[in-house]
Amino acid sequence: MRIHWPRRIFAQVLTAQVTITTGVMVLATGLFLAPLGSELDDQAMRRALSIAQTTAADPDLARELVATRPDPRGPVQADAERIRTATGALYIVVMDTRGVRWSHTNAAEIGRHVSTDPSRPLAGREVRGIDTGTLGRSARAKVPLRDDDGRIVGAVSVGIAYDSVRGRLLGTIPGLLRYAGAALAVGVLAAVVASRRLRRRTHGVAFADISALLDEREAMLHGIREGVVACDRYGRIRLVNDEAGRLLGLDASAAGRAPGEVLPPGRTTDVLSGRVTGADLLAVSGGRVLIANRVATRDGGAVVTLRDRTELELLGRELDSTQGLLDALRAQDHEHANQLHTLRGLLELGRHEKAVEFVTEVASAHRASAEQIAERVHEPLLAALLVGKAAIAAERGVSLRVSAATLLPDAVVDPRDLVTVLGNLLDNALDATAERRRAEPFVEVELRAEGTTAVLRVSDTGPGVPPALRGEIFTDGWSTKLAPATTAPRGRGIGLALVRRLAERYGGMARVTARAGGGAVFTVVLPEALAREDGAPAAPDAPGAPSAPLTAPSTPLTAAGEPR
């Protein structure tokens, strides 16, 4: 027969209250009896062990055991019965090393072997436990019996009459039922009050319907691949779904707190707090690129949705880099073809020595540029980045120079962070320099170590950054690529924001200043970006030393590294 759960709230609350109260009483009784029974068992065994140790400590008992034979009227039986009567024990059995009884409550058992294994006490170990024997349930203890020289001559077994504590406590059930009945009556009264209040608050909707609505809401919020953050009318966070927690690094402790208390200052915090409004707002949080939208609710709160655009931004940057490499490779292919044609002509003319000299010159020029970078930048990833950017710069008609003050050891804690910072700065500098055509455009890179601090500086001969915009250039959504005759950014505006976030993560800073002669200078300081080294500190050259191009002092590079 199937039991139907009532649909009315009053009946459901009452039934649940009765069930919970009954279950709690049963559980409390069980939890009360279990440790109490074990504790009483342990106390009974300790008492039996104490009587056995006291009996075995009598030196006359060991001497009488050795000097006499088992006899119901012997001294061993008399001493054991005296101690049993004085202590109220159920029995005291003294046995020899063969397991033969010398004393027992029943005199007919004297001279017979004991019914349990005496090997452990005869081996010198003490034994205790709860057993049921010929005299009923008892707490037992067995100890070795030693003579004056410490040799084991027998054992003493003591038993105490002991009923199960659970059986004793069964008599307390009527009293427990009275208390349970009183608690149940209080629970019924509380259920009546609670059900009436619930009926008003839920407008008579059944619990099943409320549960279904909540389940659908939770499944929808935590199942969608967009972050959702709900705030109340006081600006405090009320709800964070799984995706928003992953994107923003929030957990359940964020509920009930303002966004500024759980998130660092920035555009994301401003959007959640309502200080920045608009549609599809770009924001950077923890190295992630987010698209945020904020919609107000009727109760004065707001719901903010977040979409992760990090992978798309990374793919876009990879595509840009790939396109730049393709352009550089295309130019190199053209130049290599010219070099091969020249080499073929020299060989056909029979000028073999000139051909060897030409090949050596071309190979030496390419190798010299890479070696110059490797001598000053010991971190392989950064050195490879500079070599690749040099080819791209040469293709765009820009000379990429490495400052003579550059000296960076290979003790970088996380080279990927420095690659991100330097790559973004170089991309912006190359874009700015290539767009503004002027005589001998160049981009200069300086990497140096100050103890465990890494200092990155990139300067260019581009249009520079006006003083009024230097405080905004590192914010989310701001771009150095401005459309003509307008101040609206047409780039993504993410690179410099990521640079600033990485610098702040290391406890450093990122700033932009003007370059003497025109252009901009971007400086990023990353404390603790270098590992501590034993020995001589990583000291750079003098900061004011002149810069040097990648090859000879006045020779810019092409994509392949040969003189242009």
Per-residue model confidence as pLDDT tens digits over 493-517? 567 888 888 888 788 889 999 988 8
- Which residue did the predictor score with more confidence, 462 or 344? 462
* Domain ranges for the chain: 11-168, 224-308, 366-549
Query: What pTM was computed for the model?
Result: 0.44
Judged against a pLDDT cut of 60, whether residue 342 lies above it is answered with yes
CATH architecture assigned to 11-168: 2-Layer Sandwich (3.30)
Average pLDDT, the chain: 76
Which of 73-77, 127-131, 163-167, 374-378 shows the lowest mean pLDDT across its residues?
163-167
Per-residue model confidence as pLDDT tens digits over 415-433? 888 888 888 898 888 888 8
SS3 (DSSP) at 232: coil
In a 13 Å sphere around the CA of 194, the CA atoms on its Cβ side amount to 14
Same fold, 11-168 and 224-308: yes
CA angle 104, 108, 112 (to 5 degrees): 75
Burial state string for 295-321 with b = 16 or more CB within 10 A and e = fewer than 16: eeeeeebbebbbbbbbeebeeebeeee
What is the model's pLDDT at position 135? 66
- In 89-135, the DSSP E strands lie at 91-96, 127-133
Q: Percent of the chain beyond pLDDT 90?
A: 9
Q: Which fold has domain 224-308?
A: Beta-Lactamase (3.30.450)
Name every residue whose Cβ is closer than 8 Å to that of residue 120 and which is 6 or more positions away in sequence. 127, 142
For residue 101, list its beta bridge partners. Answer: 95
- Which residue did the predictor score with more confidence, 231 or 212? 231
Q: What is the homologous superfamily of the domain 366-549 according to CATH?
A: Histidine kinase-like ATPase, C-terminal domain (3.30.565.10)
Q: Percent of the chain beyond pLDDT 70?
A: 73
Residue 264 pLDDT level (bands cut at 50, 70, 90): confident
C-alpha span between 224 and 247 (Å, rounded): 13
Judged against a pLDDT cut of 90, whether residue 522 lies above it is answered with yes
Which of 54-68, 133-147, 202-216 shows the lowest mean pLDDT across its residues?
202-216
SS3 (DSSP) at 267: helix
- Which residue did the predictor score with more confidence, 205 or 46? 46
What is the model's pLDDT at position 142? 93
Average pLDDT over residues 446-474: 88
